[in-house]
Chains A and B, each alone.
Chain A
């Protein structure tokens, strides 16, 4: 009797997993098609023409770059210089010193000729107390504003402080260690110029671990030779160029990365600003922005652009990737928990009927289904119930699909405008795609599960800033 029950459970479980995988593969194929269509449509406007138009008009909207800094003494000067090198006719840089314990602020003051200026601070969004505002006496750095505040413990808190200071209609949320391409602002402002219902624009991001920097500008862009950043680079490309761009085609994007994204300031403030208690503040923010637009019947669009706008240093060790992904795992389950009212709710349009169900099924449940599948497989293998030839055929089918998807993304990156300077870099990515599903993916699944567990058991989260090695510097 027991054996019969076990067999039936395994039988149905097998079918569920099989159809789940088929559905997932179909979703990816659909996303591939949609992302291709979207980028084809987007690429009709040439970069030069956009830049030229923006430069020769008085109607160009102002953009603020909000970049929180916490204990970034080692790299802050290079990073701010890199931001100051950006090209756009009307922008300001707002660095938020989030109560750094090292000499980050002093370095900024000394290097950029900053002086404290009186400022009538109004707290439009709650955050840890504001201390001072600094501006430069040097004309060269007139775009720079530094906000000094008490440490709030999260990036979200620091961004909120920046939002209380800026006055431009759009702002870019980025990390101070990110290196932006010089024309990054043009690219991400353009969708908002084309359609005034655009509330957020996500730029494509890559890993900077293998690249070389000179005077705040990347001179040799190459993927890292270390496996973890390399795998992560591939993962980012898949996520931005297929996932987000595909969803963007039907206006169903669920996330604009906290590393680089342009937002409508008014909508962010109306939605209550960044959630300081969230582990995935970027996803939480966008969800609340869309929910706000749906609640108040305001048209909205969230857009992914194919241009590589930002390079960020990814975790290079297992310990760091574990920390990062556990936090993301916590963030995902927290998001599902806090915004469960959105799931299958037609009031929230595509967010409630497409994006959230998709996130729930293929992002939130995936680690659970994969790990249960893995342990079931081990059990069946030890009891001799595995049909090995069938196993290998199915394994190879999934593996070849995964490789095909990664190859497609690498090719796509090339035709979209080459993130890397040499063909060798692309070959590296093709090789990484061979090993990613069997080495990197299980680590990510494990980290997500740990994140879920820590959230469910309400373990205290400790915010630890990432250890950075910095990029190679050109002579």
Chain B
């Protein structure tokens, strides 16, 4: 019997004994104190273990009752508290000792892997060619059997941390091979089957972009815990090639904080780099009820959308949802798409103040050189200090034409102290940036 089974057995026994004790309280109080444990009893079914424990409990219970029965209930309660505290501290000491040993052992193993295998793993991961098993053995100076003797949790930690170091590379095609050889994939699959550390396992699967059987994810894909469910669905996108976005729309309909879009953004990057089919961002953005989700999808078009989707961003400049307008403007700014510049200029007057600043930034990012006067107008027309600052900042770095207009404004605003302050602020920031270059 392994230690877990023994612990379970002891736990069940303890519970049964406590139940016996509790149900027998009224009888014990009347029992004589001198009653000693009688040991295992024999009946027709053999030796009764429960009776044996029961006798012990009756003995100690009676002893305790006899000792404390003359005290007030307050004192009895205090004794109970002392007893509980002592028991808790004993348990804590044992757990502390056990934890120290476990942590030390784990850290030692991880250190060993880092010292002896990390460099080899690194070479395998960044290699363009897929190595054979023999080549992996040769690279690591270790047989696969030997590698598999190392606890897979340690291996998973080491490979995962290495993957994170290589985060600039979206795709590492040999990760799957390395994890299969070292037993990490098997370990993670076992965790999913045994429902052990599921969240950590799913994080590893998503982080390493490992493919496991879709069937293993089935029970987590519709899990009640939203974080776990979403992680499982992300893992599903990696594992399946038949219909990867089956759950995406349903998933996106849920209220999103920033964390989920961040994870999806990285996953979309990986999907694109592995030449998988991408989701239809534009279609999804149009059906989303939640403003934040729709705006996220619009912004994603700039990163991973198709050319057709990119060219249609202008439709969102006058969307009913302000966040979508902001994202579309950001996306066009990221793309630097000159063909949509005019649409931005035309939408400017229909925007609230904070979105006007997004318009200015987008026009500045496109940098066609055609809108110098637009910035100047924007400065004079607005009463918002932030928009004025934004317009001047854009004007300052809008090519030679923009810079000379900026200098001209210095002269024009000689009597406007607030305006001069803003001009000086932008001037000095730009100067500072230049000084930082050298």
Residues of A whose CB lies within 8 Å of any CB of B are 18, 22, 25, 44-46, 48-49, 51-61, 115, 117-120, 122, 135-139, 142, 190, 192-196, 390, 393-394, 396-397, 400-401, 403-404, 407-408, 411, 414-415, 418, 423
A196 touches B199 (CB 8 A): no
Q: A404–B82 Cα gap in the complex (Å)? A: 10
Given contacts A53-B262, A139-B437, contact A46 B200 (CB under 8 A): yes
B interface residue count range (under 10 / 10 to 19 / 20 to 34 / 35 or more): 35 or more
A61 touches B262 (CB 8 A): no
Q: A4–B96 Cα gap in the complex (Å)? A: 52
B424 touches A390 (CB 8 A): no
A52 touches B422 (CB 8 A): no
The B interface is mostly helix, strand or loop, or mixed, namely helix
Q: A418–B72 Cα gap in the complex (Å)? A: 43
- Could you list 5 further interchain pairs (A-B, Cβ under 8 angstroms) beyond the known A61-B258, A194-B259, A414-B96? A46-B200, A58-B303, A60-B262, A136-B432, A411-B96
B265 touches A44 (CB 8 A): no
B425 touches A118 (CB 8 A): yes
Interchain CB contact (< 8 A) of A120 among B85, B259, B263, B385: B385
B298 to chain A, nearest CB (A): 13
A396 touches B257 (CB 8 A): no
Interchain CB contact (< 8 A) of A193 among B81, B96, B262: B262
B265 / chain A contacts, CB cutoff of 8 Å: 57-59
Q: A456–B239 Cα gap in the complex (Å)? A: 68
A401 / chain B contacts, CB cutoff of 8 Å: 81, 85
B257 / chain A contacts, CB cutoff of 8 Å: 193-196
Given contacts A55-B167, A60-B262, A414-B96, contact A48 B425 (CB under 8 A): no
Given contacts A25-B81, A390-B75, A401-B85, contact A119 B262 (CB under 8 A): no
Task: Please encode chain B, from 103 to 128, with 1 for each CB lying within 8 Å of some chain A CB and 0 for all others.
Answer: 10000000000000000000000000
The A interface is mostly helix, strand or loop, or mixed, namely helix
B421 touches A56 (CB 8 A): no
| 14 A-B pairs in the complex with CB atoms less than 8 angstroms apart | A51-B164, A55-B167, A118-B427, A118-B428, A120-B385, A136-B432, A137-B435, A193-B259, A194-B259, A403-B85, A403-B89, A404-B88, A411-B96, A415-B99
A136 / chain B contacts, CB cutoff of 8 Å: 432, 436
B86 contacts the other chain (CB 8 A): yes
Q: A357–B33 Cα gap in the complex (Å)? A: 47
Q: A194–B255 Cα gap in the complex (Å)? A: 11
B40 contacts the other chain (CB 8 A): no
B227 / chain A contacts, CB cutoff of 8 Å: 44
Q: A25–B427 Cα gap in the complex (Å)? A: 62
**In this complex, which of B92, B99, B422 has the most chain A Cβ atoms within 10 angstroms of its Cβ?**
B92
**In this complex, which of A115, A117, A142, A397 has the most chain B Cβ atoms within 10 angstroms of its Cβ?**
A397
Query: B385-438: which residues lie under 8 A (CB-CB) from chain A?
Result: 385, 389, 418, 421-422, 424-425, 427-429, 432, 435-437
A119 / chain B contacts, CB cutoff of 8 Å: 421, 425
**In this complex, which of B72, B227, B436 has the most chain A Cβ atoms within 10 angstroms of its Cβ?**
B436
Q: A389–B262 Cα gap in the complex (Å)? A: 63
Residue of B nearest to A53 (CB): B262
Q: A18–B262 Cα gap in the complex (Å)? A: 53
Q: A304–B96 Cα gap in the complex (Å)? A: 24
B174 contacts the other chain (CB 8 A): no
A57 touches B262 (CB 8 A): yes
Residue of B nearest to A55 (CB): B167
A59 touches B436 (CB 8 A): no
A46 touches B74 (CB 8 A): no
Q: A194–B231 Cα gap in the complex (Å)? A: 13
Residue of A nearest to B388 (CB): A120
Q: A138–B436 Cα gap in the complex (Å)? A: 5
A45 / chain B contacts, CB cutoff of 8 Å: 199, 203
